A and B are shown apart, each in its own frame.
Chain A
Amino acid sequence: MGRPYGLLRAGFPFYKTLGMRRLTNFPIDIALGKEGCLYILCRNRDASTIRKYHIDDKDLGTVGRGLTWAVAIIADSEENLYVSDEAKHCILSFDKDGKELGKWGEYGDGDGQLNGPAGIAFDAEENIYVADSLNHRVQKFTKDGEFISKWGRFGDGEGEFNMPWGLTVDELGDVYVADWRNDRVQKFTGDGEFIFAFGKSGSGNGELNRPTGVAVDEHGDVYVSDSGNDRVQLFNSESRYVQKFLGDAALSTVAIEYMMTNAGPNRLRDMADLEPQKYFRRPGGVAVNGDGLMFVADNGSYRVQVYQKQAIPLTEEQFSAPRRSPTLHQE
């Protein structure tokens, strides 16, 4: 299915919260599995773990260990998991139950070598793109770690990077990179040809402060985890700012179950200003699925916030021609 001519954006309400402290500590990224499964990558000080979770807010336990400073997680078509570890300078793989399948990558700046790998993403052939953060470049590998290509170098010009973090590939094969220290997102073809960049330093709409995660949905909408501004921003496929999400979390099911047996925290919660609790705190990765759900790793609040996109594709007849100038005339 191709991208729609236009979209009627009906809304994007908060959908649910998943996880809580102790289960999903400092979530930094999320991989979407099958049948409602998701894999929440949790980064604690010097050890990271993968928490297998169900969208019904069921904790399915820890899968995958031996990670130090994990940054990103993705799942392939067989639901095998690939995780980047910026301390070990490698990519580790696990099956969906956490059995380690392999590990590739070594420290260095040569072709195929890594220095602080961060964001990772599959293309349609399940090759892996890696944001090779401290080498300020993107590298492309086979799933088994065989080097294919690379582009980028340190800088702030087109196709240059400064510690890139998140990375994703859309269904057309284009690559989006959260250029962390340049406060922008860059879009490339799968071969590394620069297409466009958007975002600049700041906290206004469309501006970014250390973007960590990036995701693209089937409509071509781009979601950017604007970590330093504690929010997620949505841009359309042409990089125009659409809206921002500041966080709307309610208690997750597991959190409610916990609170029901803990009188002290209930009283403290009753005394406290609850408003700050709904907001994102330093969001990490963002992921979207085919049902229009957006999952945000709410890193500082030990949870995942989920939003539901409500958008209806429009045909050419339902969506008038583009305008260059605004108008006050009501049609």
Chain B
Amino acid sequence: MSNTDIALMAHLMRRAGFGATRTELEDYAERGYENVVEDLVEPERCDPIDEDILHRYFGSFEAGYVEKWMYRMIRSKRPLEEKMALFWHHVFATGVGKNQHLLASARQIDTFRRVGLSNMREILIELSKDPAMIFWLDNNENRKGEPNENYGRELLELFSMGVGNYTEDDIKNCARAFTGWTFAQPPPLYPQGFYDAKFVFLEEDHDDGEKTFLGHTGNLNGDDIIDIIVEQPACAKFISRHLYNFFVADEPQVPSWHVTPPQDPEAIEILSNAFMESKGDMRHILRTLFNSDFFKEARGKKVKSPTELVTGILKLIGTYERPDPGMGKYSGATTLMGQKLLDPPTVEGWHTGREWIDGGTLTERVNFAVREVSDASRPGIAELINRLKAEGRALAPDEFVEKCLDLAGPMTVSDTTRESLNKFAESGGDLDLSADNGSEESTDRVIQMLQLIVASREYQFA
């Protein structure tokens, strides 16, 4: 297999998953790109993660949910399921900071995992019945005669169509259609812990009057509203742009989308068509996306989110083959980098792309990555060193750089970055991992090279 295949596969796995070890990349490349895409979009082809193991080691229910989720991200054989859970978490941003009900927030992510690769109708129905979302946008207070429009408004503005594709009357009638969509009161946290909140439809709180929504008139319920939404070309375009922004290349922040056109209108058109022809089938749309030229040519066009950066490093160092204590520090790390999972800052979600980066978060990102790759005993690092050893000869400085960039990515870097890496490599001369008396020093040089690579500007991009 060629390095081109490996590099393309690495790109696919960074976007559709959370990275891959070199051995995994070689296995994937052996299977062929389109077959791997099929495995990703049809996750039932691969074994699910062992839930019993998660329960046994990380505990049941809500305890340590984010650690468990991050473990899933790096260990699941169905990485796109986890990536889609993260995608919908970005789009349908719901903060545990408001509800303070960790279990409800955790269940929402479970729902995103379960239905994230289904179709847009099912996804929006599940979203509208999700207690964490209902509470987040006050639909539990949306009653006949005293409507609360928060959920109705955001459903249209941020979750399905975007500003400019509906009227204020549509919002009002959308909200009326969702009156009575609430949840049963769960028992309080104290003294026995969280209990599930469960969706209920309260007939007596539902407005049964006639409503007009996007040109459709009748006694519309929430289900009818969603049926109408998913037929709108605006919905197809809006979700396609979200998918493009998350999987392909950074777009401006969502609130500006109604005034700033997409950077690649043709790509959005292709995805929108896939949406419309499949009635919003995520598998079909993502299959189209991952097999497209615009995706394959989008290497390095996205700033890694904190979660992608951290999980990518964990994949690189090849750790956590089994659950171990300490995963909590990784959720702490993403928080310091600006992404506290389960707790996005607002209903708009996290601002992505270059907004992930400021002086403070960049320091956190670089320090984290440098620290994590510094241990030669980590399985992924040990394997990388073994592969260099397997060359069976001393590597000239430029080869040393090239091999490390290849094994850490493969990565393409700017001339400036390469110059810095070459300078470091040349300062120690040839790298000879085969020499018994020089191996420790040489191992240190490899570690330092990796540290320089993960600290580079290019490593911040997916």
Q: Which A residues lie at the B interface, using CB under 8 A?
A: 20-22, 26, 43-46, 68-69, 87, 163, 165, 180-181, 210, 228, 249, 251-252, 254-255, 258-259, 262, 264-265, 268-269, 271-274, 276-277, 281-282, 299-303
Contacts and interface: CB of A to CB of B under 8 A. Distances in A.
B57 interface: yes
Contact of B185 (A22, A69, A268): A268
Contacts of B187: 268-269, 272-274, 276-277
A45 B63 contact: yes
B324 A22 contact: no
A245 B58 CA distance: 25
Given A26-B63, A46-B326, A268 B192 contact: no
Interface string B58-69: 111101100100
Contacts of B328: 45-46
Given A20-B192, A262-B190, 7 more contacts: A45-B67, A45-B325, A210-B55, A271-B185, A282-B55, A299-B60, A302-B192
A209 B383 CA distance: 38
12 contacts: A21-B192, A44-B63, A45-B64, A45-B328, A249-B192, A251-B191, A268-B188, A272-B188, A273-B184, A300-B61, A301-B193, A303-B191
Nearest to A20: B191
B186 interface: yes
B326 A272 contact: no
B52 interface: yes
Interface in B41-59: 52, 55-59
Nearest to A212: B56
Contacts of A165: 56
B195 A276 contact: yes
A20 B52 contact: no
Contacts of B67: 45
B192 A277 contact: yes
A64 B118 CA distance: 49
Contacts of B435: none
B189 A21 contact: yes
B: contact size bracket: 20 to 34
Given A46-B326, A281-B60, A265 B188 contact: yes
B190 A20 contact: yes
Interface in B268-314: none
A218 to B, nearest CB: 31
A268 B183 CA distance: 13
A252 B324 CA distance: 33
Given A45-B63, A69-B325, A303 B192 contact: yes
A191 B325 CA distance: 34
Contact of B52 (A69, A228, A281): A228
B195 A21 contact: no
A270 to B, nearest CB: 9
A249 to B, nearest CB: 8
Nearest to B57: A69
B61 A281 contact: yes
B192 A22 contact: no
Interface in B160-200: 184-193, 195
B59 to A, nearest CB: 6
B185 A21 contact: no
A255 B191 contact: yes
Contacts of B55: 210, 282
Interface string B250-279: 000000000000000000000000000000
B126 to A, nearest CB: 22
Nearest to A265: B188
Contacts of B60: 281-282, 299-300
Interface in B375-395: none
Contacts of B58: 45
A68 B325 contact: yes
Contact of A87 (B52, B59, B324): B324
A306 B184 CA distance: 30
B190 A21 contact: yes
